Amino acid sequence: MAKELKLMKGNEAIAEAAIRSGCDGYFGYPITPQSEVMEHLMAEKPWEKTGMVVLQAESETSSINMVYGGAGVGKKVMTSSSSPGISLMQEGLTYLAGAELPAIVVNVVRGGPGLGTIQPSQADYFQATKGGGHGDYQLFVLAPATVQEMYDFVFLGWEIAFKYRNPVMILSDGAIGQVMEKLYVGDYVPRWTEEELRKNAPWASFGKPADRKHHIITSLELDSAKQEQHNHKLQAKYREMEEKEVRFEAINCDDADYIFVAYGSSARIAEKAMQLGKEKGYKIGILRLITLFPFPKKKIAELSTKVKGMLAVEMSAGQMVEDVRLAAEFRCPVEHFGRYGGIIHTPQEVLEGLEEKIIKRK
């Protein structure tokens, strides 16, 4: 595949990836710090290039339900927003999960709670990985750390979303969304033809041909026995994701005494902190999470038997750290370090956090 080098913001990379990955429709609503996604799409006019639909909705509530509609008829559809907007989308997300519809939802996280701030944050981890909406469901959550990954994870997102018939969230943050970096983009993947759609999404409500009964896309099942069966099916799917789809990057973990567990922007800051630590003689590794759900429980369990401690580095008051602790099962100390409310921690602060909470721990 021919590769072309570009300089882009993370948000623009999402938009570019949408067009180049054969996305059928994007439905969004402006919110800082992710508005460049729709701005880039509108400027590129993909409806002239690929036939992709781009629409500015009247609210995030509406845009996620447009996504539900598009996904229900088998199209590759997506939306993006930032934290307060994603809160409004929780209704749509639980319906998507309940009706088993594939879609991509990008959250370029900003500080909260409430209207919060427009600066970067990672405080939506709970919302992304623990439900957010009502009922027992899971989003598949990808955490990009570079502009390149913002681009690549859209392609990966379609694969996962259609393979499992499940919504995929790309959980980014204001820093990755706004930063400009070089990235390689590939050739345009054509949108699915009608025949391909029928082959790849045979379950969808794309219009009833004469030779089959009607398709119904719904999350409603009033018979509780059947609803429980449906829930069993969903849970089996989530367990399969945990078995097959865990993704992470282990950096210098093999002979490390200490591990930074981090994702997204924090993983990059932790990498610098690791170098600073090396100068002081500490053997530090990084477990950079790429999938937040499914969570790399086994890898953390394995590392927890070998190291002196782990520091969960995240721009929140401590959310991912709970999952790290559960996986480590008290085999080693696990602590949290992070600035939040829109403040980004420095590598120096992260290293000091490690020294204070783990290395000099009494």
Partner 1 sequence: MFNQDIVKPENLVYKRTDVLTDNVMHYCPGCGHGTTHRIIAEVIEEMGIQDKAICVAPVGCSVLAYNYFEVDSLGAAHGRAPALATAIQRLNPDHHVFTYQGDGDLAAIGTAETIHACNRGENIVIIFINNGIYGMTGGQMAPTTLIGMKTATTPYGRNVELNGYPLQITELLAQLPGTYFVTRQSVHTAAAVRKTKKAVRQAFENQKNKKGTSFVEVVSNCNSGWKMPAPKANEWMVENMFAKYPIGDIKVDGELVQK
CA–CA separation, 317 vs 218, rounded Å? 37
- C-beta of 70 vs 112, nearer to partner 1: 70
Q: How many residues interact with partner 1 (rule CB under 8 A)?
A: 40
Map tokens 């990379």 to a residue: 13
3-state secondary structure of 163: helix
238 binds partner 1 (CB under 8 A): no
Query: How many residues are given for the chain?
Result: 362
Contacts by residues 346-352 (CB-CB < 8 Å, ≥ 24 positions apart): 346/269, 347/269, 347/270, 347/272, 347/273, 347/275, 347/276, 348/273, 348/276, 350/260, 350/269, 350/270, 350/273, 350/311, 350/313, 351/273, 351/276, 351/277, 351/280
Compute the least distance from the CB of residue 45 to partner 1, in Å.
Answer: 15
Compute the least distance from the CB of residue 361 to partner 1, in Å.
Answer: 48
Contact residue for partner 1 among 73, 189, 276, 326 (CB under 8 A): 73
Compute the least distance from the CB of residue 90 to partner 1, in Å.
Answer: 11
CB 324 within 8 A of CB 300: yes
Contact residue for partner 1 among 7, 180, 216, 236 (CB under 8 A): 216
Contact residue for partner 1 among 9, 20, 75, 110 (CB under 8 A): 75
Contact residue for partner 1 among 219, 227, 231, 252 (CB under 8 A): 219
- By C-alpha distance, which of 178, 121, 118, 125 is closest to 147? 178
- C-beta of 1 vs 210, nearer to partner 1: 210
CA–CA separation, 51 vs 7, rounded Å? 25
Beta strands in 36-144 (DSSP E): 53-56, 77-81, 103-109, 140-142
66 binds partner 1 (CB under 8 A): yes
Compute the least distance from the CB of residue 136 to partner 1, in Å.
Answer: 18
CB 300 within 8 A of CB 269: no
Compute the least distance from the CB of residue 119 to partner 1, in Å.
Answer: 29
From residue 12 to residue 51, what is the string marking binding to partner 1 with x (rule CB under 8 A)? ------------xx-x------------------------
Q: Among 6-14, 105-113, 206-214, 279-287, which window interacts with partner 1 (CB under 8 A)?
A: 206-214
CA–CA separation, 359 vs 339, rounded Å? 20
Site for partner 1 in 91-130 (CB under 8 A): 91-92, 95, 99
What tokens were used for 162?
Answer: 């259609």
- C-beta of 165 vs 345, nearer to partner 1: 165
192 binds partner 1 (CB under 8 A): no
